[in-house]
């Protein structure tokens, strides 16, 4: 009777995006199909504790996560985090459509040695059935493998901070899962169109092509906001810490717009143009319809307009929190302006409301 009168609160899942420059955490709740921001935390990461999205110093990362932990309701322990970069491999393979999940798992285990370029005892595998291939009638299965040491380092750092890792996702999947939160920013036909999501991290930029709720393509670009920081440090004789602070505060001379900002934006444009051309060539599609920008360096003044002008593609800065209500514990005044950097964390937080494999 009491459970019917006062139904137990569903365990919420904190989305934790562990980046090389900062850790971003988002806690969402859901009611009547609407999402609500319950808590947000953004904590800077010490230099050199991450290398190409791999954790080099678990203890240092756990200390940052402990600062995040202190900002989140103590009853929230479950976490979804993600891996990315060179240590993650995703492939779509074709298997017998009549196999159930257990049989698919056994078949994948048998075939994995020829599919994964790492010894099997060094990797963690998972899979998801995407649907049926129209040409062969076989099941399209998304196989994802990550180095176990990469997965375990995140789990260990989170555990030392008092969290319990329930999901280790892939950043591209988390990014694509969060895209529907931004459809209100795009024209009404966006749900059926191809949307390129460009998440500009510190050391790597992740490009995903999404249509509806389906991830069509993903690619890591070896370019990120650290290139901009390095240019500021080199051009103006600053330390890396001073350059990062100047970038965040916009404390740069007026001449910086053409001395460091424009060259960085031009390099990013070139990287994106090549990556989009590669996608269009391999997929046989003629165009990408819209671009969503996310990540800490996406907020550079004029970047969205530059990409829109040069690529002739409608481009907007992602705002996944823009349509949500905010709970009393979430500091909207402090964090609303950082919404574009929280797309991956939001996608991870959404795992609390889904039951898919990946």
78 DSSP β-pair partners: 164
- Whole-model pTM: value is 0.89
CA-based R_g, the chain, Å: 21
C-alpha distances out from residue 236 to 161, 226, 258, Å: 38, 15, 13
Residues 44 and 64: their CA atoms lie apart, in Å, by 8
Residues 15 and 38: their CA atoms lie apart, in Å, by 12
**186 backbone φψ class: left, alpha, beta (φ>0; ψ -120 to 50):** beta
What's the token pair of residue 181?
């939160």
Residues 348 and 166: their CA atoms lie apart, in Å, by 11
What's the token pair of residue 286?
């003629």
Tell me the pLDDT of the chain averaged across its residues. Answer: 88
CB 127 within 8 A of CB 105: yes
What share of the chain has pLDDT > 70, as a percent? 96
Over the stretch 71-86, which tens digit does the pLDDT of each residue have?
Answer: 999 999 999 999 987 7
Return all residues near 201 (Cβ < 8 A) that are at least 6 apart.
Answer: 19, 20, 21, 53, 224, 225, 295, 296, 297
3-state DSSP of 268-306: HHHHHHHHHHHHHHHHCCCCCCEEEEECHHHHCCCHHHH
User: Edge-to-edge strands of the sheet including 164-170?
Assistant: 164-170, 78-83, 14-18, 22-31, 34-44, 325-326
Let me know if 217 is exposed, middle or buried by CB neighbors in 10 A (0-12, 13-18, 19+): buried
pLDDT of residue 358 exceeding 70: no
Over the stretch 141-180, which tens digit does the pLDDT of each residue have?
Answer: 888 888 899 999 999 999 999 999 999 999 999 999 999 9
DSSP 307-341: HHHHH-SEEEE--TTTTSEE-TTS-HHHHGGGGGG
Residues 193 and 42: their CA atoms lie apart, in Å, by 32
Over the stretch 33-52, which tens digit does the pLDDT of each residue have?
Answer: 789 999 999 999 998 898 87
Given pLDDT bands bounded at 50, 70 and 90, which one contains residue 207? Answer: very high
Cβ atoms within 10 A of the Cβ of 7, count? Answer: 8
Q: Report whether CATH 3.30.420.40 matches the domain 2-87+148-353.
A: yes
Given pLDDT bands bounded at 50, 70 and 90, which one contains residue 1? Answer: very low
Of the options 3.40.630.30, 2.60.120.10, 3.30.1490.300, 3.40.50.300, the CATH number for the domain spanning 88-147: 3.30.1490.300
Residues 225 and 265: their CA atoms lie apart, in Å, by 10
Hunting for tokens 């990120």 — which residue is that? Answer: 224
Residue 57, helix vs strand vs coil: coil
pLDDT of residue 54 exceeding 80: yes
Please report the pLDDT score of residue 10 as a whole number: 58
Most confident of the ranges 98-102, 122-126, 197-201, 331-335: 197-201
pLDDT of residue 277 exceeding 90: yes
Residues 209 and 211: their CA atoms lie apart, in Å, by 7
pLDDT of residue 4 exceeding 70: no
Please report the pLDDT score of residue 110 as a whole number: 80
Please report the pLDDT score of residue 91 as a whole number: 79
Please report the pLDDT score of residue 355 as a whole number: 59
User: What number of residues does the chain have?
Assistant: 358
Please tell me the least confidently modeled range out of 61-65, 216-220, 268-272: 216-220
What's the token pair of residue 311?
């690529």
pLDDT of residue 231 exceeding 60: yes
For the chain, which residues make up each domain, given as ranges?
2-87+148-353, 88-147
């Amino acid at each position: 009777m009491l459970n019917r009168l006062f139904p137990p609160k569903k365990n919420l899942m904190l989305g934790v995006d562990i980046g090389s420059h900062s850790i971003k955490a988002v806690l969402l709740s859901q009611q009547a199909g609407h999402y609500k921001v319950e808590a947000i935390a953004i904590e800077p990461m010490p230099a050199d504790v991450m290398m190409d999205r791999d954790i080099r110093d678990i203890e240092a990362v756990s200390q940052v996560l402990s600062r995040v932990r202190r900002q989140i309701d103590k009853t929230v322990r479950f976490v979804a985090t993600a891996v990315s970069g060179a240590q993650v491999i995703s492939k779509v393979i074709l298997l017998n459509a009549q196999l159930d999940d257990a049989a698919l798992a056994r078949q994948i285990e048998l075939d994995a040695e020829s599919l994964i370029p790492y010894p099997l005892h060094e990797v963690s595998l998972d899979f998801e059935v995407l649907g049926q291939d129209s040409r062969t009638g076989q099941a399209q299965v998304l196989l994802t493998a990550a180095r176990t040491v990469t997965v375990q380092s995140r789990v260990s750092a989170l555990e030392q901070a008092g969290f319990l890792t329930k999901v280790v996702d892939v950043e591209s999947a988390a990014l694509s899962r969060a895209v529907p939160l931004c459809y209100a920013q795009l024209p009404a036909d966006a749900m059926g169109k191809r949307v390129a999501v460009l998440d500009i991290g510190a050391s790597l930029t992740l490009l995903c092509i999404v249509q509806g709720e389906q991830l069509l393509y993903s690619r890591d670009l070896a370019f990120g906001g650290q290139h901009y920081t390095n240019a500021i440090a080199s051009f103006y004789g600053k330390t890396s810490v001073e350059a990062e602070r100047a970038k965040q505060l916009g404390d740069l001379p007026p001449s910086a717009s053409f001395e460091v900002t424009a060259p960085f934006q031009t390099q990013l444009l070139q990287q994106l143009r090549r990556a989009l051309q590669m996608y269009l060539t391999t997929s046989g599609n003629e165009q990408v319809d819209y671009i969503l920008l996310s990540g800490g360096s996406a907020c550079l003044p004029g970047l969205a307009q530059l990409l829109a002008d040069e690529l002739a593609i409608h481009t907007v800065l992602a705002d996944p929190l823009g349509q949500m209500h905010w709970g009393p514990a979430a500091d909207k005044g402090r964090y609303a302006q950082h919404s574009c950097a929280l797309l991956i964390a939001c996608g991870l937080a959404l795992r609390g409301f889904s039951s898919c494999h990946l």
